Amino acid sequence: MDRIDRRTFVTAAGGLLAGAGLAGASPAKEAGQAQAAQPPPAAAPARWKRAYMLGHVTKGPVLPTFQLLKEAGFEGVELISPNQLDMKEVLAAKEKTGLVIHGVSGGRHWQEPLSDPDALVVERGLLAIKQEIADCKAYGGTTVLVVPAVVNKKVSYREAYARSQEQIRKLIPVAEAAGVKLAIEEVWNKFLLSPPEFARYIDEFDSPVVGAYFDVGNVVEYGFPEEWIRELGKRILKIHVKEYGKSKRFDYRLGEGEIDWPAVRKALVDVGYDGWITAEVGFGDLAAMKDVVRRMNEVLQMA
């Protein structure tokens, strides 16, 4: 996408104006000044690791998919749970390819939200998350992505807030025992709609086990991802990336929508984020997945 970088434009324009008043300056000195005026982007605090969210895989075998992703340049994956995968086959595929299963994403939070007024629905939701925690531990992962609540005509915002916190508190000891963290995600569920509120929601648990799973694309409709990142700061446990634009929403390739990726990258560097960055985009053949890796490297300047 052809886009003028405002910072580059301003810097270049300033250089031209300054040059007009320095007719006697040497070429070497001018080149040095131009180079100093455009410093390279700040380095990440550590090398970010690329992963792919296997949201479409709930049945095996997974080895062919793992091999494709490894060849494409990914270093890890995130699986859906609960699932119908064979644990031995998954672990064997992990061992053979060297891909890290860094965490799991809950697969039942829309059907069985913790905010539901029906106690039986909530109980099934809790059981699903407990299974996710167990699967995550078995895979060697560190986080379970949790969508905490769904606001709708039968569940008010206030009810969703109170009910979800009550249920998540029941899960904290389970997660602690497994050595797994609960990563709360902001998504299109009419809940946690601003950065300060998201931060407060997490802080009220007063537990190192609960943090944020920040999805860059999910907030663009009503905010700026870089602002959310700065507000959440060290609360962020993991990052999802996908593109967004008003006309086609999520149906853009990375770098072709409306997200200001340089600003996102700078915010991540500034808050010291050094974990996994997971692409939540459509799956394709080897060429398509190599293109996803290339785009991740390009928009975030990943090593």
Write the pLDDT tens digit of every residue in 267-281.
Answer: 999 999 999 999 999
As a whole-number percent, the residues of the chain with pLDDT over 90 amount to 76
Whole-number pLDDT of residue 41? 59
Whether 27 and 93 share a structural domain = no
Q: Say if residue 22's pLDDT is above 80.
A: no
Whether 181 and 70 share a structural domain = yes
Whether 28 and 78 share a structural domain = no
Contact assessment for residue 69 and residue 109, using Cβ atoms and an 8 Å cutoff: no
Whether 50 and 31 share a structural domain = no
The 10s digit of each residue's pLDDT in 38-68 is 555 565 555 799 999 998 888 889 999 999 9
Overall domain count for the chain: 2
Whether 58 and 77 share a structural domain = yes
Tell me the C-alpha to C-alpha distance, in Å, between residue 84 and each of 53, 79, 130, 244.
17, 11, 16, 31
Lowest mean pLDDT among 38-42, 109-113, 123-127: 38-42
Whole-number pLDDT of residue 16? 33
Q: Say if residue 8's pLDDT is above 60.
A: no
**Mean pLDDT, residues 222-245 taken together:** 96
Whether 136 and 284 share a structural domain = yes
Q: Say if residue 134's pLDDT is above 80.
A: yes
Give CA–CA dist 277/288, Å, rounded.
Answer: 18
Whether 33 and 69 share a structural domain = no
Whether 189 and 88 share a structural domain = yes
Shortest CA distance to 85 belongs to which of 60, 57, 56, 65? Answer: 60
Domain of residue 165 covers 46-300
Confidence class of residue 88 from pLDDT cuts 50, 70 and 90? very high
The 10s digit of each residue's pLDDT in 112-122 is 999 999 999 99
Contact assessment for residue 183 and residue 154, using Cβ atoms and an 8 Å cutoff: no
Q: Say if residue 9's pLDDT is above 90.
A: no
Give CA–CA dist 219/245, Å, rounded.
Answer: 11
* More confident position, 109 or 240: 240
Whole-number pLDDT of residue 2? 39
pTM: 0.84
* More confident position, 110 or 125: 125
Whether 230 and 146 share a structural domain = yes
As a whole-number percent, the residues of the chain with pLDDT over 70 amount to 84
Shortest CA distance to 205 belongs to which of 239, 238, 176? Answer: 176
**Mean pLDDT, residues 208-213 taken together:** 98
Whether 207 and 134 share a structural domain = yes
Residues in Cβ contact with 303 at an 8 Å cutoff, skipping those fewer than 6 apart = 44, 47, 48, 297
Whole-number pLDDT of residue 46? 57
**Mean pLDDT, residues 13-31 taken together:** 40
Contact assessment for residue 82 and residue 106, using Cβ atoms and an 8 Å cutoff: no
Whole-number pLDDT of residue 20? 37
Confidence class of residue 37 from pLDDT cuts 50, 70 and 90? low
CATH number, domain with residue 180: 3.20.20.150
Whole-number pLDDT of residue 38? 52
Query: How high is the mean pLDDT of the chain?
Result: 88
Side chain identity at residue 170, one-letter code: K
Whether 160 and 284 share a structural domain = yes
Confidence class of residue 250 from pLDDT cuts 50, 70 and 90? confident
* More confident position, 293 or 39: 293
Whether 50 and 185 share a structural domain = yes
Whole-number pLDDT of residue 252? 85
